């Protein structure tokens, strides 16, 4: 990740014991959410997420 930091992650599973501030999260019903904070408003930020079991990668620039 560039020009941003993770301030929270979640998946909707209230039984999960995973931390809310981390750089990983297991999917729950195929979904998870990451909350980011840009550190520099004048440049783009980049996030890359990978599903480890299948090696599927998704990238987003904002």
Residue 50 has pLDDT above 90, yes or no: no
- What predicted TM-score, i.e. pTM, was given to this entire model? 0.72
- pLDDT tens string 14-45: 999 999 999 889 989 988 899 998 888 888 88
Residues 13-52: b if buried by 16+ CB within 10 A, e if exposed: eeeeeeeeeeeebeeeeeebebebeeeeeeeebebeeeee
Asked whether residue 53 carries a pLDDT value surpassing 90, the answer given is: no
């Amino acid at each position: 990740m560039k020009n941003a930091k993770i301030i929270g992650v979640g998946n909707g599973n209230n039984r999960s014991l995973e931390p809310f501030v981390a750089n990983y999260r297991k999917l729950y019903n195929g979904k998870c959410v990451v909350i980011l904070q840009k550190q520099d408003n004048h440049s783009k930020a980049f996030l890359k997420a990978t599903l480890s079991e299948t090696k599927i990668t998704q990238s987003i620039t904002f």
